[in-house]
A and B are shown apart, each in its own frame.
Chain A
């Protein structure tokens, strides 16, 4: 876990990446985030913590995840396309990388209860899994609508012993689950809030980025083995809050030849009014304790986002992405529901891999960007599609 300190990837002492980030939290939560930051900075580089974490990733999660050369996609796009197989992680997505890292923190901080929000349910399942492993009580807030559309994950969480509480306010999706999880944390300051993406108040974006950075750390090693060069020309990842993208981009930020492409959910289309393409439709503001880009109306009220994918319909974006997109380092593009569905079916039919709907957005971007013969592209396949079968069945 060699972490580089760079202008794109490390926030300042108040948690700002450029003008984005920080901790916009009520005083009620200040002791919590201060305790967390202090503790994290103390243990993160200690040999015992690193070893425990790395061992879990290896023996429990199954890392390193393969870097798979997709012949079919490579032929179609006339360049080299690799898939980083985060879908093969235990529990089926990249979310477990972060959940395990943070559960170790929770355990070491002496916490007995963990609370989390979830959208697609992948983070909820990862947190419930990690909590079962560490024998901690687990409470997961999930939007009522997401409970419906991601039913298999709800069953998994419950079987793992987690209490799943429906968030019934607002759009009844990820944003509202996050509000409820934060409220729970205010009312139960002794609980550990295990946030699932690179969002929320400092130090969370930094911590989650660190734990996900393993993705690009492995990519470099695997690319060197397979191509003789550590560097690809492009890395593509979908962005809900942005944790799989942060992990996939992390070790490439300072490599100027590597294009970083963040794919947002356009939903029914950028201009349809039913979209979640935050960096394109959003403006600067504060959501869930962080200054970032977010979807809001002229009066600063947050707009209910929409995407067919329960993991991407978040109205904000991690502050490091907001900063990197604004600086022009990361390029943002967007993919509609329909394009994502098509890409999911294509990968399923040609490679025998059923991707998560979220990851299908990253795949669909291949059809939207300019590719050259010399391109070596890594698509971060953030999760598997088992949870999305009900949706896929509806369309195909």
Chain B
């Protein structure tokens, strides 16, 4: 069974664990889940997030200053009350410093089945990490871009059968100020290449309109920086409402 396969189009929200306060995560999970969000991506803060724009850099910096780390994060996740699927997302380094095997074991314990490590390429995963992921039944999710070639999309989609494929809307770091631009024809083709593996689109999605555009071509949308931006202004509830 794949928890990301649903009849309706889905909305997912990314948040940085430990932002704005070290204890914020479980409240956010409750709010998001009550609001009807389909799954939540929990960002593991890292000091040097090279694929991220200013918003996630800043929330990560604050989260680290607040003392967030993987030990605390797993502790918090183990106490969450909501049943909503959680995807953990972060860079390789904090995970291997924690110990990859311990990380995966903890994921299994706290019922996190899906992990995205954007700087862990497919090749690196297959050569070094796949067997450990499989041992603990944690499923990786990989990014693709509009430039990824067909064969690679199919390979990734197959590997992500139990999770989903994460299509980055355009070549940019997270939180790009540019308007969301999608080549719908291309994206529909990518959706077909993914076969039965769900396809979600993220990076640069900010408004209800963007979300609707994504729904035309994929299984769902992922919002990150725009949500964090709303938190920083204290307007996250209005923001969430504006999405529905």
Q: Which residues of A contact B (CB under 8 A)?
A: 14, 22-28, 30-31, 169-170, 175, 179, 182-183, 186-187, 189, 283-289, 294, 296, 298-302
Selected from B93, B118, B142, B145, the residue in CB contact (under 8 A) with A296 is: B93
A304 and chain B: residue at smallest CB distance: B47
Most chain A CB within 10 A, of B93, B123, B124, B176, is at: B93
Question: Main SS of chain A's interface residues?
Answer: mixed
Asked if B94 is at the interface (CB within 8 A of a chain A CB), the reply is yes
Whether A299 touches B145, Cβ cut-off 8 Å, given contacts A24-B92, A28-B168, A287-B93, is no
A289 — which chain B residues lie within 8 A by C-beta?
Answer: 50, 119
Judge whether B7 is part of the interface by a CB distance below 8 angstroms.
no
Q: Are B97 and A299 in contact (CB under 8 A)?
A: yes
Q: How large is the interface on B (under 10, 10 to 19, 20 to 34, 35 or more residues)?
A: 35 or more
A169: B residues at CB distance < 8 A: 57, 61
For window 117-164 of chain B, which residues contact chain A by CB distance below 8 Å? 118-121, 123-124, 127, 142-145, 147-148
For residue B85, CB closer than 8 A to chain A, the reply is no
Total inter-chain residue pairs, C-beta < 8 Å = 101
CB < 8 Å neighbour of A28 from B51, B57, B92 = B51
The answer to whether B94 touches A300 (Cβ under 8 A) is yes
A299 touches B70 (CB 8 A): yes
Q: How far is the CA of A289 from the CA of B117 in the complex (A)?
A: 12
Contacting residue for A175 out of B48, B69, B119, B123, CB 8 A: B48
- Chain B residues closer than 8 Å to A301, beta-carbon distance: 46-47, 64, 94
Identify which of A14, A27, A170, A186 contacts B47 (C-beta below 8 A).
A170
Of chain B, the residue at the smallest CB distance from A180 is B50
Query: Cβ of A187 and Cβ of B92 under 8 Å apart?
Result: no
- Chain B residue at smallest Cβ distance from A283: B97
Instruction: Give CA–CA (A186, B50) in the complex, Å.
Output: 9
Q: Complex: how many Å from CA A234 to CA B72?
A: 49
For residue B172, CB closer than 8 A to chain A, the reply is yes
Closest chain-B Cβ to A5's Cβ sits at a distance in Å of 22
Whether A186 lies near B172 (C-beta < 8 A) is yes
Residues of B within 8 A of A (CB): 46-48, 50-53, 57, 61, 64, 69-70, 91-98, 118-121, 123-124, 127, 142-145, 147-148, 168, 171-173, 176
- B171 and A189 within 8 A (CB): yes
Nearest 4 CB-CB pairings of A with B:
A300-B97, A300-B94, A27-B143, A26-B118
CA distance A339 to B79 in the complex (A): 53
* Distance of A189 Cα from B168 Cα, bound (Å): 14
By CB atoms of chain A within 10 A, which of B48, B123, B148 has the most?
B48
Contact A285 B51 (CB under 8 A): no
CB pair A28–B143 under 8 Å, yes or no, is yes
Q: A27-B144, A189-B171, A299-B70 are in contact. Are A179 and B119 (CB under 8 A)?
A: no
Of all chain B residues, which has the CB nearest A188?
B171
How distant is the Cα of A296 from the Cα of B51 in the complex, in angstroms? 19
A135 vs chain B, min Cβ distance (A): 25
Q: What are 22 A-B interface contacts by the 8 Å CB criterion?
A: A14-B127, A24-B120, A27-B142, A28-B51, A28-B145, A30-B148, A179-B50, A183-B173, A186-B51, A187-B176, A285-B93, A285-B96, A285-B97, A286-B92, A288-B48, A294-B93, A299-B70, A299-B98, A301-B47, A301-B64, A302-B47, A302-B48
- When distances are taken between beta carbons in the complex, the residues of chain B under 8 Å from A179 are 48, 50
Complex partner residue of A27 from B48, B94, B118, CB under 8 angstroms: B118
B171 touches A286 (CB 8 A): no
Asked if A186 and B119 make an inter-chain contact with CB atoms under 8 angstroms apart, the answer reads no
Q: Which of A27, A28, A286 has the most C-beta atoms of chain B within 10 angstroms of its own C-beta?
A: A27
Q: A302 with B93: in contact, given A24-B120, A175-B48 (CB under 8 Å)?
A: yes
Q: Min CB distance, B232 to chain A, in Å?
A: 17
In angstroms, how far is the closest chain B Cβ from the Cβ of A172? 13
Q: Which residues of A contact B61 (CB under 8 A)?
A: 169
**A298 with B48: in contact, given A27-B144, A31-B147 (CB under 8 Å)?**
no
A-chain residues with CB within 8 Å of residue B91 when the two chains form the complex: 286
**Sample of 13 more A-B contacts, CB < 8 Å, known A27-B121, A299-B69, A300-B96:** A23-B123, A23-B124, A28-B145, A169-B57, A183-B51, A183-B173, A187-B172, A189-B171, A283-B97, A285-B96, A296-B93, A299-B70, A302-B93
Alpha-carbon distance A390/B96, docked complex (angstroms): 41
In the assembled complex, the CB of B22 is this many whole angstroms from the nearest CB of chain A, namely 13
Q: Are B93 and A300 in contact (CB under 8 A)?
A: yes
Give the residues in chain B near A30, CB-CB below 8 Å.
121, 148
Instruction: Give the residue name and chain of the A residue nearest to B49 (CB).
Output: A179
Min CB–CB distance B39 → chain A (angstroms) = 21
> In the complex, A283→B94 CA distance in Å?
12
A383 CB, min distance to chain B CBs, angstroms: 27
Smallest distance from the beta carbon of A375 to chain B beta carbons, Å? Answer: 40
Evaluate whether A182 and B171 lie within 8 angstroms (CB atoms) in the complex, with A14-B127, A24-B119, A299-B94 already known. no
**A175: which B residues are within 8 A, CB to CB?**
48
Cross-chain contact of B97 among A22, A31, A298 (Cβ < 8 A): A298
